[in-house]
């Protein structure tokens, strides 16, 4: 049930109307819980039951952790929860990847082996809701939050349909208190929700799906295209990934606001980042904060030696790459970002000891150069991220660096330039915090016409064949 489909519009209209008609708070919780189950079961009812079962198990394990006084028992219960969630993720998402990798390693060593391929269906959104379950049990173990006593409330925390499939990754400490908070209709909040929803639809239909027409044919066979087409496809894919995922996040935040809930912001003008560390503070913020709090800091963070800090960056971002996909290009993509963070850390310290160099980077030209370099690295890393093999990524890099003959770009470059311009204007408005002031100053009729025009443009520019959200695969 894709967010941009007519099926979802009808589904949400019914849920929205019934939600605000019901006068009883607990009835609203049950309505959202049933709606969330139906939302997921519309894709696969068997896996919806599995998710509910694992969520109930986590609920009781957290209750046991909270009630236990023995440190050993509390650690054991936490281990069962974490290993269970990661084991479920490993089986569905990584089992065949590990089997294929082992088989390739055995062949390289001269052994004859034919390992089985498991027939498993990857549950949509499993990478997101397993991380949510882990953050809950770990926070209960750390005594940061008490174990939730209401099973329906805990089920809603995991299953809440706006964020269930592709985030943002929700913290129990933020979401569970909202369930118990009385909900009252607010026109201001509804206005914000509609703005976010329409903005997300525009990003997805008018930009992301349109950029896919640029990127998909080129990445399918880079050897058939000339150098300009390879570069244009790389920039188009960067816009596609950003607008696809941030568009989903905007729709998730908007629908949640319309139901009286607030989800965490997931993007904050990432293409305005001045370095790779700043980029990861702006891109997929809920995932970055999860890895920081539940992996990087427990490993020691940046408190130890330079070697220890570098090791921690590599571990965290290599696993971040593996989280994104079960293949070696994803692992390499994560490791590249880890290495770049290490380089940035050393370069930052190098500049600190040279005030003139640091001042140069602070000038408008220095800032523009830093932003351009960050964008260039991110786009280059997407060549690895998008290709199905490291060999194909290498071939594409060779064509981009040394020239390649072949076909031109699949569509006119004016479309790409227009998309870049729209995203750039949006980033400038976001960085300077002008967008909320602009919209608030408009009269209500003008604001309504602007929203209607934005939706109309999104529908007009949407390709005939729509695409699923990219992060559904993660």
Residues involved in catalysis: 324
**Which of 99, 79, 88 has its CA nearest to residue 127?**
88
Return the half-sphere exposure (C-beta side, CA atoms, 13 A cut-off) of residue 128: 24
| 262 touches 283 (CB < 8 A) | no
**Which of 276, 249, 281 has its CA nearest to residue 265?**
249
| 395 touches 223 (CB < 8 A) | yes
Long-range contacts of 229-235 (CB under 8 A, 24+ apart): 229/406, 229/407, 229/408, 229/409, 229/410, 230/396, 230/399, 230/400, 230/404, 231/400, 232/409, 232/413, 232/416, 233/409, 234/379, 234/380, 234/382, 234/383, 234/400, 235/379, 235/416, 235/420
Q: Output the CA–CA distances (angstroms, integers) from residue 109 to 64, 95, 105, 106, 407, in the order listed.
A: 47, 21, 6, 5, 40
Q: How many CB atoms lie within 10 A of CB 35?
A: 21
Q: How many CB atoms lie within 10 A of CB 342?
A: 19
Distance CA 373, CA 324 (A): 24
Could you please report the per-residue DSSP string of 362-414? Answer: TSHHHHHHHHHHHHHHHHHHHHHHHSSSHHHHHHHHHHHHH---SB--SS-HH
What tokens does 269 get? Answer: 């003008």
* Angle at alpha carbon of residue 44, lines to 213 and 286, rounded to 5°: 65
What are the φ and ψ backbone dihedral angles of 182, each rounded to 5 degrees?
Answer: -60, 140
Long-range contacts of 68-75 (CB under 8 A, 24+ apart): 74/141, 75/141
Q: How many CB atoms lie within 10 A of CB 311?
A: 16
| 15 touches 139 (CB < 8 A) | no
Q: Which residues contact 146 (CB under 8 A, 6 or more apart)?
A: 66, 140
Distance CA 447, CA 193 (A): 14
């Amino acid at each position: 049930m894709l967010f941009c489909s007519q099926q979802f519009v009808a589904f949400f209209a019914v849920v929205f109307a019934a939600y605000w008609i019901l006068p009883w708070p607990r009835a609203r919780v049950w309505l959202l819980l049933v709606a969330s189950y139906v939302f997921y079961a519309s894709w696969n009812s068997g896996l919806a039951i599995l998710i509910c079962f694992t969520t109930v198990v986590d609920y009781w394990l957290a209750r046991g952790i909270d009630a236990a006084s023995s440190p050993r028992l509390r650690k054991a219960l936490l281990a069962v929860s974490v290993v269970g969630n990661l084991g479920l993720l490993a089986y569905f998402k990584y089992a065949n990847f590990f089997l294929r990798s082992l088989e390739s390693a055995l062949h390289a060593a001269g052994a004859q082996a034919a390992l089985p391929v498991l027939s498993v269906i990857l549950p949509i959104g499993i990478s997101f809701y397993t991380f949510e379950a882990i953050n809950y049990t770990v926070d209960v173990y750390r005594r940061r939050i008490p174990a939730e006593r209401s099973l329906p409330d805990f089920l809603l925390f995991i299953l809440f349909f706006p964020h269930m499939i592709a985030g943002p990754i929700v913290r129990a400490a933020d979401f569970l208190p909202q369930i118990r908070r009385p909900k009252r209709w607010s026109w201001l909040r509804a206005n914000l929700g509609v703005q976010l929803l329409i903005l997300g639809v525009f990003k997805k239909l008018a930009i992301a799906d349109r950029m896919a027409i640029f990127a998909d044919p080129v990445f399918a066979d880079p050897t058939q295209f000339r150098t300009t087409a390879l570069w244009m496809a790389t920039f188009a894919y960067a816009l596609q990934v950003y607008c696809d995922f941030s568009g989903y996040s905007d729709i998730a935040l908007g629908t949640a606001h319309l139901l009286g809930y607030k989800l965490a912001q997931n993007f904050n003008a990432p293409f305005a980042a001045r370095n790779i560390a700043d980029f990861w503070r702006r891109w997929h913020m809920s995932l970055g904060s999860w890895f920081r709090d539940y992996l990087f800091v427990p490993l020691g963070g940046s408190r130890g030696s330079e070697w220890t800090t570098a090791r921690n960056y590599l571990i965290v971002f290599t696993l971040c790459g593996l989280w994104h996909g079960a293949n070696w290009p994803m692992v390499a993509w994560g490791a590249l970002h880890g290495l770049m963070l290490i380089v940035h850390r050393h370069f930052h310290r190098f500049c600190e000891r040279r005030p003139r160099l640091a001042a140069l980077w602070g000038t408008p030209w220095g800032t523009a150069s830093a932003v351009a370099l960050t964008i260039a690295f991110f786009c280059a890393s997407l060549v690895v991220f998008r290709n199905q093999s490291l060999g194909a990524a290498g071939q594409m890099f060779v064509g981009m660096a040394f020239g390649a003959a072949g076909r031109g770009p699949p569509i006119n470059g004016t479309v790409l330039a227009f998309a870049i311009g729209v995203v750039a204007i949006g980033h400038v408005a976001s960085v300077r915090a002008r967008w909320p002031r602009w919209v608030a100053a408009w009269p209500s009729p003008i604001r309504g016409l602007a929203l209607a025009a934005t939706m109309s443009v999104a529908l007009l520019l949407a390709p005939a064949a729509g695409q699923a959200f990219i992060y559904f695969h993660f």
